[in-house]
Amino acid sequence: MQLKHIIFVSLFSFMPLFAMAEQQEPAKSEQTTEQKSEQETSNPAQEKSSSTQTKKSNQPLPIKELDLQKQDLKHYLSKERISPLLVGPTEYVTLIKNYSSANSKGVAILLPDWQQGATNPKAINYLANTLPEHGWTTITIQPDNKPDNYPSIAINTTEQKKANEEIISTYKNDFSLLIKAVMAKAKEYPGIVIIVSQGMHSTLLIDMFSQENSEPANALILLSSYFDTSAEFAFEENKRFAHQLAMSEYPVLDLFLKNDHPKAITYAKQRKSITEQEMKVYYRQRQLNNTVTGYYPEVELLSQIHSWLRAVGW
């Protein structure tokens, strides 16, 4: 009798636990249902975000600055002035304006600095439109832009120098092919060939003409020229440029501005000193007064070029 009573009491004590378990099971099932519904409602958002990312990845990349410059030239200038020039697989844009005077003196090749357009107003565009009135056919080049990874930002100085040399060597190869193609084009016209070069491209021209297999122009006019590199190598590279210039045999007019790039002013003095030491003939250097940094005074620029050409004999 006592055993039965104990069993009965035990069963009676476990009944609330069974009831609580039954109550919790529906709650769990309800919670699971809610979670499933939340996951179902969140899936469209995830699908939307993934589709957006797919659309973004399919968007075209920005057009390169050089391509934009070429498109602008073709769009805004007359077709008569534009002359595409194929150099290997690369097509360059050149602007040609024939002389409009009674007599032809020759061809003036106008080479802007890298990062500058063929119609930049600092000096090149003025000369391209004015020199034809004085007997010069002008061929203006739209060159390649500065390499994206130049100058090198490597931590080690030795690595920087090696990387810079490799980058400039690659750029110089394409640049040399371009200049040779333009020189060949210029020889289709009567008269002498002079080159008006700006900035970093002047140093590459001097280096190119110093090679034995390269035929230089009849004369070279430099505008605000200096070797553009990191501060650690600027003095060394510009000194090498000055020595190559001093040893050249063709006439050189070296112009820079009172308000110019600091390196253009500093290394112009270095070039003059070295050319005087080497007693280079037909070398003239002049500093022009200007009000806006980097912009050449138009009348004074043309006057300096004319007087120098007359002194040389042209």
Q: List the single range of 43-57, 69-83, 132-146 with lowest mean pLDDT.
A: 43-57
Q: List the single range of 66-70, 141-145, 152-156, 297-301 with lowest mean pLDDT.
A: 66-70
Top pLDDT among 1 and 223 is at: 223
> What's the whole-number mean pLDDT along residues 139-149?
92
Using CA atoms, how far apart are residues 197 and 303, in angstroms rounded to an integer? 17
For residue 89, the 8-state DSSP code is T
> What's the whole-number mean pLDDT along residues 115-124?
91
pTM: predicted TM-score of the whole model, two decimal places: 0.79
Give one DSSP letter per residue of 183-238, joined into a string: HHHHTTSSSEEEEEEETHHHHHHHHHHTSTT-PPPSEEEEES------HHHHHHHH
> What's the whole-number mean pLDDT along residues 284-290?
97
Amino acid at 303: S
Amino acid at 263: K
> What's the whole-number mean pLDDT along residues 133-138?
96
On average, the pLDDT of the chain sits at 84
Residue 69's pLDDT is 67
Using CA atoms, how far apart are residues 26 and 68, in angstroms rounded to an integer? 67
Top pLDDT among 70 and 5 is at: 70
For 236-282, the pLDDT digits (tens) are: 999 999 999 999 999 999 999 999 999 999 999 999 999 999 999 99
Is it true that the peptide bond before 121 is cis, omega within 30 degrees of 0? no
Residue 54's pLDDT is 52
Residue 124's pLDDT is 96
Residue 213's pLDDT is 83
Amino acid at 264: A
Beta bridge partners of 223: 198, 255
State the pLDDT confidence band at 28, using cuts at 50, 70 and 90. Answer: very low
Q: How crowded is residue 265: how many other Cβ atoms within 10 Å of its Cβ?
A: 16
> What's the whole-number mean pLDDT along residues 94-103?
93
Residue position matching structure tokens 């069993």: 7
Is it true that the peptide bond before 151 is cis, omega within 30 degrees of 0? yes
pLDDT over threshold 70, residue 88:
yes
State the pLDDT confidence band at 4, using cuts at 50, 70 and 90. Answer: very low
Using CA atoms, how far apart are residues 146 and 80, in angstroms rounded to an integer? 28
Residue position matching structure tokens 């391209």: 128
How many angstroms separate the Cα of 263 from the Cα of each of 87, 153, 225? 32, 20, 9
Share of the chain above pLDDT 70, in %: 77
For 151-200, the pLDDT digits (tens) are: 999 889 999 999 999 999 999 999 999 999 999 999 999 999 999 999 99
Beta bridge partners of 97: 138
For residue 133, the 8-state DSSP code is G
Top pLDDT among 204 and 16 is at: 204
Residue position matching structure tokens 């090679």: 211
Using CA atoms, how far apart are residues 170 and 163, in angstroms rounded to an integer? 11
pLDDT over threshold 80, residue 74:
no
Q: Are 88 and 119 in contact (CB under 8 A)?
A: no
CB within 8 Å of 28: residues ≥ 6 apart: none
Phi-psi label, residue 279: left if phi above 0, alpha if psi -120 to 50, beta otherwise: left
Using CA atoms, how far apart are residues 237 and 172, in angstroms rounded to an integer? 15
Amino acid at 281: V
CB within 8 Å of 244: residues ≥ 6 apart: 206, 207, 210
Using CA atoms, how far apart are residues 301 and 127, in angstroms rounded to an integer? 9
For residue 156, the 8-state DSSP code is S
Residue 58's pLDDT is 67
